[in-house]
Structure 1
């Protein structure tokens, strides 16, 4: 596992073809997490990726915003997203926002 960003509240790392976010993705960290993830995607030399938010501790629209930023980057870079994993709190938020198709 390779660390891309480590802050007291949140970490971003890579394992094989998976971007992993863990902790409490607060507003003050979101821009850094999103930007570092996009940078990694630009340097990524594979045709598909997995996005893993399973270790996000709190439901937050901030986390969904980071996810959408990465999805836009993947689309622009023609990288297929093979799977998206959300933590139970994020899954509930996605369901409330009628975004269940994200993990289907």
Structure 2
């Protein structure tokens, strides 16, 4: 496991081609997480990646914006998204926002 970013309340790690976010992601942390993850995606040379948000206990639109920034980066660089794992609070937010179908679509990066 490699730590890409450590903040007082949130961390970003990469393990086996999966970006893993844990902690409480607020607006300030979200911007830095999005940038650090996008940089890794752009320079890592991965053909397929996963995103794991199961360690995020609080649902917020800031977290969802990180996810969508990474999805856009993957699309630009032709990186397949093999899996997206959300915590229960984020799953509820995605469903309420009617974003769950988009997030779990097999054609995310086509």
Q: TM tier, shorter chain?
A: over 0.9
Query: Runs in 1 of length 4+ with deviation above 2 angstroms?
Result: none
User: Size of the alignment, in residue pairs?
Assistant: 104
Displacement, 1:49? 0.3
CA distance in 2, matches of 1:73, 1:53: 17
Report the secondary structure of 1:92's partner residue. helix
User: How does the TM-score come out when normalised to structure 2?
Assistant: 0.92
User: How does the TM-score come out when normalised to structure 1?
Assistant: 0.97
CA distance in 1, matches of 2:56, 2:104: 15
Aligned to 1:49: 49
Runs of at least 5 residues in structure 2 that lack an aligned partner in the other structure = 106-110
1:93 aligns with 2:93: yes
Aligned to 2:65: 65
- Quick check: 1:85–1:103 contact (8 Å CA) kept in 2? no
Report the secondary structure of 2:85's partner residue. strand
CA distance in 1, matches of 2:46, 2:70: 15
Displacement, 1:70? 0.2
CA distance in 1, matches of 2:93, 2:50: 20
Runs of at least 5 residues in structure 1 that lack an aligned partner in the other structure = none
Aligned to 2:32: 32
Aligned to 2:22: 22
- Quick check: 1:23–1:56 contact (8 Å CA) kept in 2? yes
CA distance in 2, matches of 1:63, 1:92: 13
